[in-house]
Amino acid sequence: MALREVRTMGDPILEKRSREVTHVTERMKELIDDMFETLYEQNGVGLSAVQVGVLKRIITIDISEEGNEPVVMINPVIRECDGEQEGYEGCLSVPGKTGRVKRPYHVVVDFLDEDLKPHSMEGDEVFARCICHECDHLEGKLYVSLVDGPLQDVDDVEEEQEKRTKRKKMRVAKGR
Ligand code: NI
């Protein structure tokens, strides 16, 4: 296993459409292992192959904090979308930045596993957001094109959220 270099916004490869996977090679399995390693090293929740410079329809997602297993999806297709959610989104290809994006609340995605066996999975909230975000990468689309208004610095947003939590705690302490 090895870490891969994550391409960042401005790199033209991030605007390209990734190609369908028709067979899985040893090299591709190595790529998937490397994608997970890179994802964990960078504290991300999702990574697509194009972000490490490979134009193949492969995404890796791990939001295990939310009680899900790490998952690799090959040739993912979002079959159903329901509802709406809005929240902050970030991307390893756009380091230090964040912005609010509207996404479906619930998605159903069809994909192949590493043995090219078909699966279907449902996702809500963060998982749905992540699936949409990674599938957009395969079309050459970054979340920044979906953000209403300017991108913000992650540090500023975190600071603001901390202040809000503190204010809330103070109100609770005062019995309000
Ligand atoms: Ni991303």
- Residues surrounding ion ligand 1 at CB below 5 Å: 91
pLDDT of 139 > 70? The answer is yes
Q: How close is the Cα of 90 to the center of ligand 1, in Å?
A: 7
> What is the rounded average pLDDT of the residues 53-82?
92
Amino acid in position 18: S
Predicted pLDDT at 90 = 95
Model confidence at 66, pLDDT cuts 50, 70, 90, reads low
pLDDT of 67 > 80? The answer is no
Predicted pLDDT at 153 = 94
- CA-to-CA separations, 82 to 11, 12, 71, 121, 134, in angstroms, rounded: 33, 32, 22, 14, 18
Q: How close is the Cα of 68 to the center of ligand 1, in Å?
A: 19
The C-alpha atoms of residue 164 and residue 17 are separated, in whole angstroms, by: 40
Q: Which uninterrupted H or E stretch holds 60?
A: strand 58-61
Q: List Cβ neighbours of 160 (8 Å cut-off, separation of 6 or more).
A: none
Q: Which CATH architecture has domain 12-150?
A: Alpha-Beta Complex (3.90)
Q: Which residue has the higher pLDDT, 87 or 68?
A: 87
Taking CA 121 as the corner, what is the angle to CA 52 and CA 143, rounded to the nearest 5 degrees? 40
pLDDT of 103 > 70? The answer is yes
pLDDT of 1 > 90? The answer is no
The C-alpha atoms of residue 55 and residue 66 are separated, in whole angstroms, by: 29
Q: List Cβ neighbours of 172 (8 Å cut-off, separation of 6 or more).
A: none
pLDDT of 176 > 70? The answer is no
> What is the rounded average pLDDT of the residues 48-67?
92
Tokens representing 121 are 């999975």
Q: How close is the Cα of 170 to the center of ligand 1, in Å?
A: 36
Model confidence at 53, pLDDT cuts 50, 70, 90, reads very high
> What is the rounded average pLDDT of the residues 21-26?
96
Beta strands (DSSP E) in 62-142 are 71-82, 85-89, 97-103, 106-112, 118-124
Q: How close is the Cα of 144 to the center of ligand 1, in Å?
A: 10
Exposed e or buried b per residue across 122-158, where buried means at least 16 C-beta atoms within 10 angstroms of its C-beta: ebeebbbbbbbbbbbbbeeebbbebbeeebbeeeebe
Residue ranges covered by each domain of the chain: 12-150
159 is catalytic: no
